[in-house]
């Protein structure tokens, strides 16, 4: 998308989608909404899925590999809720791998604070991938309830960190006008 409004719409969609799954990871990690209202989680997942589809379509049109990776991540994660069994498991693995790809593409393509956030996404998503793999394939070291709670709680905070850092990265086009406006106000201020 070449126009500013289109970029902002896609950025807003990507931000909403990443925030939904970041907050989901936080709620799962904290246990507050771990078994929370299913209707709210369903609506949030559907909204994130629609936003992911918008991002994916726009990214495919503009051939933006970073946005394609984020769109695939969000769409696969949202679709995994709608299906069950091995298809859902495959979609979750696709989502995790695509988020790692999003982080790597960010690190390779951007500089400064955005590159640092790209590293945060890459590391958190890779650890999330590995922790999820280990919790599903390796038996826990103990069957004590306390150990099981800790072991199975590890992927959720990693999911939250990866998606929330991705949300900050994709929100940059939305934040640029705010920064420009603040800079304009600062430069025109009488008192500094």
The answer to whether 1 and 10 have CB atoms below 8 angstroms apart is yes
Share of the chain above pLDDT 70, in %: 82
The answer to whether 92 and 128 have CB atoms below 8 angstroms apart is no
33 versus 159: the higher-pLDDT residue is: 159
pTM: 0.81
Lowest mean pLDDT: which of 42-51, 70-79, 154-163, 178-187?
178-187
Which pair of tokens denotes residue 164?
A: 């929330």
Whether the predicted pLDDT of 2 surpasses 60: no
CA 103 to CA 165: how far, in whole Å?
Answer: 10
The answer to whether 107 and 166 have CB atoms below 8 angstroms apart is no
In this prediction, residue 123 carries a pLDDT of 93
Which pair of tokens denotes residue 100?
A: 């790692």
Q: What is the mean pLDDT of residues 109-122?
A: 89
Greatest extent of the chain over all pairs of C-alpha atoms, in Å: 66
CA 135 to CA 79: how far, in whole Å?
Answer: 22
pLDDT band at 1 (very low <50, low <70, confident <90, very high): very low
pLDDT (tens digit, 9 = 90+) per residue, 116-151? 989 999 999 999 999 888 888 877 766 777 777 777
* Highest mean pLDDT pick, 25-29, 32-36, 144-148, 161-165: 161-165
pLDDT (tens digit, 9 = 90+) per residue, 53-104? 888 888 888 888 988 898 899 999 888 888 888 898 899 899 999 999 999 9
187 versus 85: the higher-pLDDT residue is: 85
The answer to whether 168 and 34 have CB atoms below 8 angstroms apart is no
């Amino acid at each position: 998308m070449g126009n500013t409004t289109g970029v902002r719409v896609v950025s807003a969609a990507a931000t909403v989608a990443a925030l939904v799954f970041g907050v989901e990871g936080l709620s799962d990690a904290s246990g507050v909404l771990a078994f929370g209202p299913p209707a709210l989680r369903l609506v949030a997942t559907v909204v994130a899925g629609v936003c992911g589809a918008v991002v994916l379509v726009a990214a495919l049109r503009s051939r933006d590999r970073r946005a394609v990776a984020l769109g695939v991540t969000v769409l696969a994660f949202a679709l995994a809720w709608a299906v069950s069994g091995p298809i859902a498991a495959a979609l979750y693995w696709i989502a995790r791998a695509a988020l790692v790809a999003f982080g790597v593409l960010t690190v390779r393509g951007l500089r400064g604070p955005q590159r640092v956030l790209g590293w945060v996404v890459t590391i958190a998503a890779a650890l999330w991938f590995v922790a999820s793999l280990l919790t599903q394939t390796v038996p826990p070291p103990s069957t004590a309830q306390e150990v099981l709670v800790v072991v199975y709680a590890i992927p959720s905070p990693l999911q939250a960190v990866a998606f929330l850092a991705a949300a900050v990265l994709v929100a940059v086009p939305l934040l640029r006008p705010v920064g420009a406006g603040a800079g304009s106000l600062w430069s025109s201020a009488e008192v500094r």
